[in-house]
Structure 1
């Protein structure tokens, strides 16, 4: 429905005051006809007479009131239709309502920022290695610094390759000593963020554009135990490089690669899990093959199994 234009309102007021208005005068205001505010003068076709405002308003309101009544009736019918299922939903609500799917970087970051602002005790994070952009670094600083200022403890797990990442080393150096702890481990599977014992976030896609926000106490407690398991097997970031060769000439990282090779992982998957690029991974595999005297990929797997280095790692 069109709105009554300013010119139409002025002409309608003129017609009400005079009792009629010339038909030619209302041509610039077609809204008067759309609102049926004028009707032909029965005594002179060149003139129009105004409809009473009360009658005109009633004509406009009646369809709206009818539509409102129909929508109310429809709402009542919907409520009646879903009422039998409401009691059933309470049986699953405690689980389904505690897991929220977040899609899109903006929505994920908004949820993370809200959880961080509400965090009071400790934030646990697992951050598999990737190329941390300057923007991501700044976002992390903006999120973490207020936590530290509130006395919240932060513990973060990286892969060993983070020791050679200028971005991650700079990130750790910017936060006050003793307020945040950083450790590294040879292998991480996926990203994880936990605030207190209240909420946890995990991604569901490799592009990090879909995540789960979990507030179910049992799920959060389980993920905390997973984090603590990895934390107890990790090395402080300040403890020095973990890649020094053992007595058998094989470094810790090559032991990790050997384990994944025996499990059947391809080079790309090994590199992703250990937080390194594929070229570096293949260079370590070549050194491992040289150390064991392997001439082929198939033979390398056999020699790894026969050498006993995996038993030594355990």
Structure 2
């Protein structure tokens, strides 16, 4: 209830009429008029010009027809739409000459492209292979390859060689014990193919014409990065060259120091990683061997040093001096 002389409160939505105003406007349209004192409860009716004073009786208000009220409200909106459309046309005309300039240029090349999934990664490798004209540099960590992987690599590699492209590949020493990988290397051994091995390498890497590089972006190798930024690719090429100089040609003997105290060169490498705190899986991954082989070597090291526990093994390795003797 409104007390006498009190100004009615009128919380209003963002539309021309509130609920009370809509009800009263409908009533006014039905009866042809509305008492002025009723309209006081909905001032939006007068503010929106939906009611106007009755010329014959000041106590009454008459409604404006809905079609006239709607047209009055739509007119400024339609005018704004026409103005916006005209502005859009002007902007299109303004930028059309600039669009013509960029249309004549080569499409922009992304410096770094994220490749998710084996299909996209392989497609990127195939594309880079097809574009390659002079040189391919690759680093392949791990030991032997599966027959399927080798067949794909052989087909891809032969396609490159037939165009006279040179190839240099760095494997890990452990691939020397894989007959399948050795057979693949023998088939690829031509004048423009060189293969060397290292005990430890960086992760997988492929560089084509020193213009495109592909590297893993995740440990499971299901995501890769395709790099086309000249500085990044050149940096990776320098990393490859540094490792290449330290690597051993495939047909040469690996320059391991002779066994000392029953510890071979491979086992000394494992021992070094052990005292650095690496677990078996990490050591196997870094040296390109499976975990079972790695643990067999660790067992031989423990037997040679007389270790009865893993904790004692680290201490005995450090005290034995076998790592110093390997240099």
Judge same fold: TM > 0.5, yes or no.
yes
SS at match of 1:201: strand
- Residues 34-49 of structure 1 correspond to what in structure 2 (within 5 A)? none
Name the structure 1 match of 2:188: 175
Cα 1:286/1:176, change in 2 over 3 Å: closer
Name the structure 2 match of 1:102: 115
SS at match of 1:239: coil
Cα 1:230/1:100, change in 2 over 3 Å: same
Cα 1:212/1:309, change in 2 over 3 Å: same
1:141 is the counterpart of 2:154:
yes
SS at match of 1:135: helix
Name the structure 2 match of 1:220: 233
Name the structure 2 match of 1:298: 311
CA positional deviation for 1:179: 2.2
Q: Is the 8 A contact 2:248 2:254 kept in 1?
A: no
Cα 1:223/1:313, change in 2 over 3 Å: farther
- Among 144, 163, 169, the alignment partner of 2:176 is 163
SS at match of 1:157: strand
> Hey, which of these two has a bigger chunk of helix by percent?
1
CA positional deviation for 1:236: 1.5
In 2: Cα distance, 1:120 partner to 1:137 partner: 22
Name the structure 1 match of 2:249: 236
SS at match of 2:206: strand
In 2: Cα distance, 1:227 partner to 1:251 partner: 28
Q: Is the 8 A contact 2:173 2:199 kept in 1?
A: yes
Q: Is the 8 A contact 2:143 2:174 kept in 1?
A: no
Name the structure 2 match of 1:208: 221
In 1: Cα distance, 2:291 partner to 2:300 partner: 14
In 2: Cα distance, 1:176 partner to 1:138 partner: 15
CA positional deviation for 1:171: 1.1
CA positional deviation for 1:312: 4.0
In 1: Cα distance, 2:274 partner to 2:263 partner: 15
In 2: Cα distance, 1:247 partner to 1:136 partner: 37
Name the structure 1 match of 2:264: 251
For the pair shown, the structure with the greater C-alpha radius of gyration is: 2
CA positional deviation for 1:241: 5.5
Q: Is the 8 A contact 1:292 1:303 kept in 2?
A: yes
Cα 1:125/1:265, change in 2 over 3 Å: same
Name the structure 1 match of 2:99: none
Q: For 1:207-250, what per-residue CA distance to the aligned partner results, in whole angstroms no more than 9, with x for missing partners?
A: 32210011112211221222122222221111235667424432
Q: Is the 8 A contact 1:124 1:154 kept in 2?
A: yes
Q: How many positions carry a matched residue from both structures?
A: 229
When the two chains are superposed, the root-mean-square deviation of aligned CA atoms in Å is: 2.9
Name the structure 2 match of 1:113: 126
In 2: Cα distance, 1:300 partner to 1:229 partner: 34
- Among 124, 132, 136, the alignment partner of 1:123 is 136
Gaps of 5+ in 2: 1-80, 96-108
In 1: Cα distance, 2:300 partner to 2:254 partner: 18
Identify which range, 139-148 or 241-250, moves more after superposition: 241-250
In 1: Cα distance, 2:221 partner to 2:320 partner: 39
Gaps of 5+ in 1: 1-68, 84-95
